[in-house]
Amino acid sequence: MKLFKTRFLIFENFTILKLDADDYSIMNAAYFDGEKMIFDENYLEPNSDETLVRVNLAGICGTDLEIIQGYMKYAGILGHEFVGTVEKSSNSELVGKRVVGEINVGCGKCYSCEKGMERHCPNRTVLGILKRDGAFAEFLSLPEKNLHIIPDSITDEQAVFVEPLAAAFEIKEQVSLQPQWSVAVVGDGRLAQLIIQVLKLTCSNITCFGRHKSKLESLVNGGTKIKIGIAPTDEQSFDLVVEATGSNSGFSDAMKLIKPRGIVVLKSTIASKENLDLTPTVVNEVTLIGSRCGLFKPAIDALASGIVSVDSMVDSVFPLKNFSEAIEHAKKPDTLKVFLKP
């Protein structure tokens, strides 16, 4: 949709630049102004040298909900889990292709970028999280190198899970998993359930500690042991504990479960400023590993081959304009993946 209004840019030297209406297009977007979510039918489309992607479907995740509570002090269009269709690109072979996208965009010049670690670039932007508009809109833009073509065998709903599934596979990159290990996953939400499927590719003895019976029951058929609450016999019983609760209490639970000199992987990003007690970490010589984004190829391959299944985690789809209802639904304890459709 074209913007049928004349716009002016006023610079510090008071030069006025007139922008033709044809130079800019507008779109529907749900953005966060730092305090509340707003639906805007006249939000400017991305206007850059990057690849332009029409969003087919976007997922609401725990990080989005934490940002609304103040995490990252972000203002802009939320959403970083998406699948879309390429509208414009300098690479003509990409146009019309269904794609997902890695969310970190580095400066390309620093030490981290030179080593291929754009996710740790100090000057990076992050889709829907840091200095870059995200996927709760009709369009988004990313560099071509961030995009991955999705095979036809993967549905749109399944493709939205690529980004969080890649985060689950990152654990295998960081930890040399041993088949004989006793493993605990703390949390029963969307990410926790993906992590369990990934860990099961190596470790068979997995217990999920959660709080919601309806979510936990879906894990039983896959051979995962489930527990609500930690019994005294569970304490210091696990070689590896993955914390994926999205709450401060998850860290405390993980520290109760881990054996001395065990490994705890932390996945939660939390807006709360509550202090955490790290004393047990020192006393029991526990290795803590922070774990965030991961490589997309293992996630795409896992979905295409069927070794990881996400269909049971699909909850509901809301039109973009009904974002408020969708977000409130996503906050409910028993809800799994909620989608927004522009």
Query: In the chain, how many domains are there?
Result: 2
pTM of this structure = 0.88
Nearest Cα residue to 245 out of 226, 263, 265, 262: 265
* Residue 301 included in any domain: no
- What are the DSSP calls for 237-297, one per residue? -EEEEEE-SSSHHHHHHHHHHEEEEEEEEE------------HHHHHTTPEEEE-----HH
Same domain (yes/no): 193, 154: no
Same domain (yes/no): 195, 142: no
Same domain (yes/no): 20, 148: yes
Measuring CA to CA, how many Å separate 278 from each of 67, 241, 246, 271, 282?
A: 25, 16, 18, 18, 7
- CATH number (domain holding residue 68): 3.90.180.10
Tens place of pLDDT for every residue, the chain, 342 residues?
Answer: 444 444 444 434 444 444 444 556 999 999 999 999 999 999 999 978 899 999 999 999 989 999 999 888 999 999 999 999 999 999 999 999 999 999 999 999 999 999 999 999 999 999 999 999 999 999 999 999 999 999 999 999 999 999 999 999 999 999 999 999 999 999 998 899 999 999 999 999 999 999 888 888 878 777 899 999 999 999 999 999 999 998 878 999 999 999 999 999 999 876 556 777 889 899 999 999 999 999 999 999 999 999 999 999 999 999 999 999 999 999 998 888 999 999
Residue 326's domain comprises: 7-161+310-341
